[in-house]
Structure 1
Amino acid sequence: MTTDRIGSDAVRFLVAGGLNTALTSAVYFAGLTVLSSGISYTIAWLVGLAFVMVFYPDRVFPGGRTGFADRLAVGGSVAAVFVAGLASLHFLERVLQSRAAAFFATLAITTMLNFLVSRWILRRQY
């Protein structure tokens, strides 16, 4: 793996993450017009998860693995990182004594973890 490929993967990952954030935010706020916040959040999160499973193998890590099992593995890893992020958020809130600092630290941690694990799953050799 060259650093050029890692860098281009990272740029595509960040762009796709921005698109995913915009999409899930739109779904969340649209849902709030007729649903509770919890249901809206759940639907938005599931839409985001589907986006990752459909979009990332072909567009973010092109030339990598694109099989159904690989897509499920990426979805599972994103779900696992979400749970790890919740744990990190609660831990960092206590340690840092700042919700904002804990949020941004958790965002950095989960973004890096999602990139590394997704890349490993989709770029590993057959």
Structure 2
Amino acid sequence: MAADRIGGDAVRFLVAGGLNTALTSLVYFAGLFVLPSTWSYALAWLAGLVFVMVFYPDRVFPGGRTGIADRLAIGASIAVVFVLGLATLKTLESVLQNTAAAFFVTLAITTVLNFVISRWILRRSC
């Protein structure tokens, strides 16, 4: 059933997101030993992007599209949502006057966007 598939996709997406967060945090903090924070952050973000491109097509959305073009599309969509997230964060910080609230609302928005777009890319028919 479609609802079962969406639920399974969502659970796998959240688990993979947790793994991705652990990986990128490890890369970031390890990088701080030898790199400035900006470079460490960039390296961690790149590691997370590669993780998504490699892991999501086969493990998060199994049975979906797995071609190189699809993997690149996932990477591009994550990058676009990242930029939208930055803009959303700045806007919400200004409107809400609360950085923590702005962060959590932005996190919710970008998580949903990443799921919907990633699922559409990998589950769409040819």
Post-superposition, which runs of at least 4 consecutive aligned residues in structure 1 deviate over 3 A?
none
Show the 5 A alignment for 1:56-95: 56-95=56-95
| Unpaired runs of at least 5, structure 2 | none
Match of 1:121 in 2: 121
- Rounded to whole Å, the distance in 2 between the matches of 1:72 and 1:104 is 28
The residue matched to 1:93 in structure 2 has which SS? helix
Compute the TM-score of the two structures, normalised by the length of structure 1: 0.99
- Rounded to whole Å, the distance in 2 between the matches of 1:65 and 1:73 is 11
Show the 5 A alignment for 1:96-115: 96-115=96-115
Aligned length: 126
- Rounded to whole Å, the distance in 2 between the matches of 1:44 and 1:15 is 18
- Rounded to whole Å, the distance in 2 between the matches of 1:61 and 1:9 is 6
Query: What value does the CA root-mean-square deviation take over the aligned residues?
Result: 0.6
Deviation at 1:12, TM superposition (A): 0.0
- Rounded to whole Å, the distance in 1 between the matches of 2:96 and 2:15 is 29
Q: Deviations over 1:13-71 (max 9, x none)?
A: 00000000000000000000111000000000000000000000000000000000000
Compute the TM-score of the two structures, normalised by the length of structure 2: 0.99
Show the 5 A alignment for 1:16-31: 16-31=16-31
Show the 5 A alignment for 1:43-54: 43-54=43-54
Identity over aligned residues, as a percent? 76
Structure 2 residue 3 is matched with structure 1 residue 3: yes
The residue matched to 1:65 in structure 2 has which SS? coil
Q: Deviations over 1:79-115 (max 9, x none)?
A: 0000000000000000110000000000000000000
1:46 partner amino acid: L
